[in-house]
Every structure is written in structure tokens, then in C-alpha cells.
A and B are shown apart, each in its own frame.
Chain A
Amino acid sequence: AQSVTQPDIHITVSEGASLELRCNYSYGATPYLFWYVQSPGQGLQLLLKYFSGDTLVQGIKGFEAEFKRSQSSFNLRKPSVHWSDAAEYFCAVVGYNNNDMRFGAGTRLTVKP
């Protein structure tokens, strides 16, 4: 069955520290992969996506993600976190030929001053 796992429900980092949010997927073939961010009471904003090609993807707000086929992972990283990055982050997958997007449970990021 198709599934997305975000192992970390909540992560706390200090401002200026690096960040890595984990995402693993289970899918019949390589799906299309996304990271979205959601601020409280808001919709989802696309950070970055992977369809094919270079496995290191650059996104907005200084985020990047690396697709690792052998590990079925698509982890999100940022070298230096800002207080404004505090939000909930969702990893999502879409299979080829459909738009039925499956989401992970989300990782809530808290940034300490």
C-alpha cells in the first residue's frame, strides 16, 4: 500500500542550527515527492518538489531535499534555521498518472531563540 512516514512528530532546534526532517515512502514505483509547510490556521505552501533528474532539489526559503531511491527517503534540510521557520512540515507523494496526493502525519518544528 502507498504510504508516507514522517518519523518525527515534533522537533525543536535552536535558531541558527541546522535542520533535517525525515520522510520515508512506500510506493510501487518512484513517486513524485513534495514538501509543504503549514503555518497555524493556514493552507499548505509548497517548499520544493522532486519529479526526476538531480536528486538534490533546491526549494524556497533556503530549504533543500535529497531523494535517495535506495532508502525510499526524501529528507528535508536547511543549514541555518530562522525563528520564522517554526511551522508544521508535510512530506507528500503522488503516483504517476494521478493527483491523489498522500501526506505524512507532519513534523511540527519549534525554533528556540
Chain B
Amino acid sequence: KAGVTQTPRYLIKTRGQQVTLSCSPISGHRSVSWYQQTPGQGLQFLFEYFSETQRNKGNFPGRFSGRQFSNSRSEMNVSTLELGDSALYLCASSARVRSDTQYFGPGTRLTVL
């Protein structure tokens, strides 16, 4: 089985712009979670989607949003980028929504200038 894929792998944006990141889960997995990883804050949970519905949300401003499609692929969007949004964004997929093992993609490295 192919693993979790994320595109693009690297992205450079400027402040004020918006960005969309994409995640394709492992085949058959219906839950997709997103995490932000920074040197200062570590790994932080952004949100989780299951069957196109947001099931859980972390403590991030409304500029961070996401969605999931009927094929379980997910996108996250960050609007009005700030310098502090520079991070590695990781996507993870799991088969179920509750307490299941999550498998991570390689991440998208976002740099905001």
C-alpha cells in the first residue's frame, strides 16, 4: 500500500498571501489529521476530518481551515499568512476516527517571507 502523500513538499509564500496544502491518505483510511511542527511549539494538532466532516479542532485561529473530499483526500488552507506560520505541516491518516494508529506523510515545509 502506498503511504500518505503530501503536496507540495516545499512552499515559499509572502506575508498576507494564502496557501493550500494537500494530503492523500493511505487507501481505505477515512480519517485525516493535520499537525503543525515548529521548533518553538513542537507538534501541535490542527484538526481532524472523517467522512468529510471535521471531528476535532485544535487551538488555532480561524485563518487555518480544512476540508475533506469524498475520496478522503484532504486540503488545509491558511489565509493571510504570517511569519509565524512558517512550519512543517504534517498530515496523518488512520482507518477509524477514534483512537486509531495514525500514519504520517513526509510533510509540507512552508516558509513565509
Contacts and interface: CB of A to CB of B under 8 A. Distances in A.
A99 B97 contact: yes
A99 B90 contact: no
Given A90-B43, A99-B55, A43 B102 contact: no
Interface in B29-44: 31, 33, 35, 42-43
Q: Which secondary structure characterizes the binding site on chain B?
A: strand
A42 B107 contact: yes
B71 interface: no
Contact of B109 (A36, A41, A97, A103): A41
Interface string B96-113: 011111111111010000
Interface residues of A, number: 26
A87 to B, nearest CB: 14
B42 A97 contact: no
B42 A96 contact: no
A94 B99 contact: yes
A21 B55 CA distance: 32
A103 B99 contact: no
Contacts of B106: 42-43
B64 interface: no
Interface in A82-107: 90, 92, 94-106
B58 interface: yes
B31 A36 contact: no
Contacts of B103: 46
Contacts of A45: 104
B56 interface: yes
Interface in A4-55: 32, 34, 36, 41-46, 49, 51
Contacts of B102: 46, 94, 99, 101
Interface of A: 32, 34, 36, 41-46, 49, 51, 90, 92, 94-106
Interface of B: 4, 6, 31, 33, 35, 42-43, 45, 48, 55-56, 58, 90, 92, 94, 97-107, 109
